[in-house]
């Protein structure tokens, strides 16, 4: 892991090429570098909480956010209704109602953190 930090900290042609792109969304940019970001947070002993479980699966500490499978299922329902003739402007706005808490116990141990049992009991998944 120590070789990862200097490589990220040094300016590279890749970063210089990406920086001017106005159409690149922050989430796509960060999600594409989730392994590097999770490892940097662990390397610098920063307990980080992410909004997407993908970060925890690659070594991040905790994620709390909407269930992407459920969100995609809802999007599919909307597409189906639109294809059947519904007007998009007339469709109701649906709020996210299913959130998931994922904890990476191995990362917590690496950071010398004790995750409270009340938080562990509420977790949808604990990665060990």
Instruction: Please compute the mean of the pLDDT values over residues 13-27 and round it to a whole number.
Output: 48
Instruction: Please compute the mean of the pLDDT values over residues 58-68 and round it to a whole number.
Output: 91
Whether 118 shows a pLDDT value over 60: the answer reads yes
The CATH homologous superfamily of the domain defined by 4-69+98-127: Response regulator (3.40.50.2300)
When pLDDT is cut at 50, 70 and 90, the band that residue 1 belongs to is very low
The sign of the CA dihedral 58, 62, 25, 67 is: positive
What pLDDT does 26 receive?
60
Q: Are strands 125-127 and 49-50 parallel, antiparallel or unpaired?
A: unpaired
């Amino acid at each position: 892991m120590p070789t990862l930090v200097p490589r990220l900290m040094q300016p590279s042609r890749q970063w210089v090429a990406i920086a001017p792109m106005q159409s690149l969304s922050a989430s796509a940019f960060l999600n594409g570098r989730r392994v590097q970001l999770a490892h940097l947070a662990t390397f610098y002993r920063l307990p980080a909480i992410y909004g997407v479980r993908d970060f925890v699966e690659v070594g991040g500490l905790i994620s709390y956010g909407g269930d992407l499978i459920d969100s995609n299922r809802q999007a599919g329902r909307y597409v189906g209704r639109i294809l059947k003739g519904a007007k998009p402007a007339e469709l109701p706005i649906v709020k996210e109602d299913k959130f998931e808490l994922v904890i990476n116990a191995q990362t917590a141990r690496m950071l010398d953190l004790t995750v409270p049992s009340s938080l562990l009991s509420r977790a949808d998944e604990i990665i060990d």
